[in-house]
Structure 1
């Protein structure tokens, strides 16, 4: 098991990260095609891509200016995470708005 973990630790995650964006972009494309998909939630899912971009930029700044990982530079890390919080909030509000707008089934 240790050999497997060491082999996995040697893999550069960069290409995997780029590949993982493809299904997410396909999901966003599909969601835009569905008229019933809540627009506010769709904006939240789109804002997740902004979070990714901000996180990458903040990580580069943390490394270049502080010589540390992003998680070790609290102001940059908190600023990047704020975009994730905002995107999650928009998703929740978008779907909860749809749920509240539906008539309740009183059976």
Structure 2
């Protein structure tokens, strides 16, 4: 239960980070989409974890299909962030 509390509290600073990154005109658009994609990962992980617990009686990490599906969104978000900053670096030089 304590981990759920820490997880929920960790969203507050991240939302603040997103707020300031969105307002900064220098933030690469593609990278910003990736940062928002991390929220999609969180939004998918929570119900997938609840489903794994209720149907399989275990954590999300132990249900490969669900875990891999959720992690796909984190991987996609990370790729967008990397490509966005890569493009920004190329354009600035």
So what's the TM-score if we normalise by structure 1? 0.83
**Does residue 1:90 correspond to 2:57, yes or no?**
no
Secondary structure of 1:50 counterpart: helix
Q: How does 1:19-30 map to 2 (within 5 A)?
A: 19-30=9-20
Provide structure 1 residue ranges, at least 5 long, that are not aligned to the other structure.
1-10
SS at match of 1:76: helix
Deviation by residue 1:3-53 (Cα, 9 ceiling, x = unmatched): xxxxxxxx7122222211111000000001110100110110001011011
Normalized per residue, the structure richer in helix is: 2
Q: Which runs of 4+ in 1 moved over 3 A?
A: none
Equivalent residue for 1:50, pick from 30, 40, 48: 40
Q: CA RMSD in A?
A: 1.1
Larger RCO (CA within 8 A; separation ≥ 6): 2
> Which of the pair has more CA radius of gyration?
1
Following TM superposition, by how much is the alpha carbon of 1:65 offset from its aligned partner in structure 2, in angstroms? 1.0
Aligned length: 93
